[in-house]
């Protein structure tokens, strides 16, 4: 089945998220830090009148902070569990491909509770790691996300 994915980069790696939960892609704006939050939560941001928690995707996946510049974006996501923004280094494009091209990947040395990937897709000469937003929400502290809605 053909599915649309928003592609974004972290370092030299390309990631994709199924577009079904994406509300919008926003330029990075001023954030309000919040105390006593996990290190991957960089704070809160006002997006069109809605206060939204921000998860730094680089911190979550690689344990290091994002390099924020003019290309950085918030990917605003909405699920039944929460509304949140993923901070990414840049968004590249929206592509459509058959979801059957996504193959599972075994990440040795990573606990299954911290594996946020649905799998990887090989498209022409690119490897695209597909992020499973439900896995992220199942493993981050969603109690702090729900309070802001």
Which pLDDT score is estimated for 42? 92
CATH classification code of 2-146: 2.40.50.180
Q: Is the pLDDT of residue 139 over 90?
A: no
pLDDT at site 101:
93
Report yes or no: 129 and 14 within 8 Å, Cβ to Cβ: yes
Neighbour count for residue 47 (Cβ, 10 Å): 17
Work out the pLDDT band at 148, boundaries 50, 70, 90: very low
pLDDT digits (tens, 9 = 90+) for 60-118: 888 888 889 999 999 999 888 788 999 999 998 999 999 999 998 876 655 544 578 89
pLDDT digits (tens, 9 = 90+) for 14-42: 999 999 999 999 999 999 998 988 889 99
């Amino acid at each position: 089945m053909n599915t649309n994915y928003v592609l974004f980069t972290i370092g030299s790696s390309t990631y994709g998220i199924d577009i079904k939960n994406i509300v919008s892609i926003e330029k990075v704006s001023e954030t309000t830090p919040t105390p006593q939050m996990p290190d991957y939560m960089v704070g809160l941001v006002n997006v069109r009148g809605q206060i939204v928690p921000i998860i730094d995707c680089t911190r979550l996946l690689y344990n290091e902070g994002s390099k924020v510049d003019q290309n950085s974006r918030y990917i605003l996501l909405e699920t039944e569990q929460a509304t949140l923004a993923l901070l990414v280094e840049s968004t590249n494009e929206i592509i459509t491909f058959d979801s059957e091209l996504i193959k599972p990947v075994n990440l040795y040395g990573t606990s299954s509770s911290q594996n946020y990937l649905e799998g990887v897709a090989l498209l022409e000469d690119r490897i695209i790691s597909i992020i499973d937003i439900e896995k992220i929400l199942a493993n981050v502290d969603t109690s702090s996300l729900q309070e802001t809605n």
